[in-house]
Structure 1
Amino acid sequence: MTTLSTLTRGQGAGDAPYTAADLDVIADNVAPMHGHPNTPRLFTGPGGLAVTEDGIVQVPPGFDWLADRAHRNDPGPGSRDAAVATRRDGVGCVHPGITAWAIARGWPTDQHGRPVNPRYASLLADPRIGLCTGLGPSWRYGEQVVTDAVAVADGHVALIDRDTPHNGTIPALPGGFAEPQDFGLTFADWTTGHRPVTPAGIIANALRELGEETGIATPDGSTLRIVREIRPVSSPHTLNAWTVVYTVLVVLPTRQSVPDGFRARWTPLDTLDAVLPNMWGDHRNALTAALDQMQRGL
């Protein structure tokens, strides 16, 4: 079984700060949201946000992005953390279990008990980036697991058609946000801050997303491996809600037909040079990293 300490680490992964090149990429990622009326962005000067003696980040009021999440299938209020406005009086704090989880992970918290991105200082100090606060379009505070599945069989890779707000329909890897059941847990567990991250849960997330988005099953005899970890920052991310993305390589024994109704297809590996430029940069990097590890037999 893959251990999370042996992965190839990309942008923002591990304990290293974002590099100048990372910040250039992030600036491009968040550019579409600058000036959006519903996303007031928080920036800092050289001194950063005020931090109390006990390490609490003081977020000024008025920067929460209270999205309605109308663009996603929402199974109900029990599936997401409650939004908390940035009020000076601290009314409406998050569940104390979420705060305890953040502290146990070594993340800062704000005056409402919300997790704060541990690299907030460099993100908010860059005038090209900045972040709003709150949940934004996310369902959860703090770090949220996302997986991308690189499913390979008989010299082909499974890709889907992904509709994007800025680039139209593009080829993409199947994948998405983890859910509690991927880790053998419930929404109630996550609501109270019980959110462990395990290799088995990451792989379960990838296989679930692969099945939901392509209709491709993962039979016995498949090779499964987590190959990459990255902590990107893009337009939907906020100071209080961000992602960690894992790439999972899925080598299938045979190439299955994609069932009707799925916007997926098998793409020959020897034609990827024409496809890769049309993909999101991170999907392009994830795909090439997975194929490189596969070719090297890792």
Structure 2
Amino acid sequence: MKVITNIPQMQKISFALKKKGKKIGVVPTMGYLHEGHLSLIRIAQKYSDIVILTLFINPTQFAAHEDLNRYPQDIPGDLKKCKKAGVDYVFSPKISKMYPKNFETYVETTQISLPLCGGSRPGHFRGVTTIVSKLFLITQPTVAVLGKKDFQQLAVIKRMGADLNFPIRIIGAPIVRDKDGLALSSRNVYLTLEERKNAVGISSALFWIRNQIKSGETRIAILMSHLKNKLFSCGLRLDYAECLHSENLTPLTHYQKGKTLFAVACFVGKTRLIDNIVV
């Protein structure tokens, strides 16, 4: 495994690999890797000859009041996990190189980024699409693998890829959960023991929705009312709970089998967590 920090060097390696006919799979991350990230690596390996994992905490997707300066990091641990998982290259550039002085070019979707996290984190997805487009241009992937826990992020990147004609297959990977159902997240490390217990209420409420639909209850208004009540009863502070079409993220008032997204963002103490199900 090679660790690359230089942008031109990573580009040169990527172009050389493509010239040899190699399929490149990229796994974009902000580090502090957990089993969810490792599952992305395994999927990328199925669809590519070479896997590049990117380690970069992207400042442009954080607002001033958010956790950029305390976002968890463990680069030595991340590199150890990447090597054990069989990653070929880790690309970990410096912020000053990705965003040099006088940087002024951004990539932005205009509609699909508006609801959910786009509503509560203005400018977030402009930062996401900008950094991912840069990473795509640097690493030249055939395949990119992103997790479905960040469902809107996946949808935004797919939209960007289609609109800008990136010749990249973007794969959404299943959410990886702890034994008690909590979706794995690098931010889970912020939680106290008591908060960790309360956080399980997010997935429990979503699983309840899934079971209700399986039992024949498909009235969106009824389901959403119960969903919010269950979240409140767990001591969670709601950022949003919405029901949207899973393909275009437009509001749904009637259930559509296999295309109905229930998405939630809650504060557990000071920690903001997201989760979702598609049923």
What TM-score does the superposition give when structure 1 sets the normalisation length?
0.25
1 or 2, which has the higher helix percentage? Answer: 2
Greater length-normalized contact order (CA 8 Å, ≥ 6 residues apart): 1
